Every structure is written in C-alpha cells, then in structure tokens.
Amino acid sequence: MIGRGVLLLLALSLLGGCASVRTLDAAKPGAPIIYSGTRLDWYSLNGGCCPMDRFGAIPPRYPALDLPASALLDTLLLPFAVAAELGVGLGVRGGL
C-alpha cells in the first residue's frame, strides 16, 4: 500500500515537472531555498503574480497535484536546504 502511494506521488511529480526540482535548478539569487517547491506550488495556488521574479521558476501546470510530491521531496532535502541557507559548504556538485 505504501509502495503504491510513493509510486503515485512520483508519477504526479513527473506530470508537469516537479516544483522542487524546478526551484533547485533555478539558481536565482535571493530565491527561497527551504521548502522552495512547496512554496512555489502554494504561491501559484493562491494566485501569485510573478513566480519567475520570486522563485526563478515557472510553477507546474497542476500545482495542486504537485503539492504533496513537492512537500515530500522538500522534506527529504531539508537538511541540505538548511545547510545551504546557513552557508555551509557541503562540497556537493551535480552534473559531469
């Protein structure tokens, strides 16, 4: 049962692009880091006018469907987000 729920959340996050992944890739100075994808979804659901200016990313097409998956991913990434917010260098790099 739990496996199906995780699979459903993963599928929903891939539907229109996960907000958490979009904000992590944005690299906009001054953009929120902690729970950034969840905040982008919530901002969009509440009629926020300028997500590119605030988050450096466009929200997913269906933010209400993406919200649970973004909340889960943001929770899993919380230690890294807090470290980044505090300016702690973890020496983590992506790409090749």
- What ranges do the domains of the chain cover? 2-86
Residues 84-96 as b/e (b if ≥16 CB within 10 A, e otherwise) read beeeeeeeeeeee
- Reported as half-sphere exposure (CB side, CA atoms, 13 A), residue 81 has a value of 18
- DSSP labels, 32-85: --TTHHHHHHHHHHTT-S-HHHHHSSPPPS-HHHHHHHHHHHHHHTHHHHHHHH
The answer to whether the CB of 14 falls within 8 A of the CB of 51 is no
pTM of the model: 0.72
User: Which percentage of the chain shows pLDDT scores above 90?
Assistant: 20
Two structure tokens written together for 46: 């509440």
Q: How confident is residue 71, by pLDDT bands cut at 50, 70 and 90?
A: very high
Is the pLDDT confidence value at 10 over 70? no
Predicted local distance difference test score (pLDDT) of residue 14: 59
State how far the alpha carbon of 3 is from the alpha carbons of 10, 19, 35, in Å: 11, 22, 24
pLDDT in tens, 75-87: 998 998 888 888 8
The answer to whether the CB of 34 falls within 8 A of the CB of 81 is yes
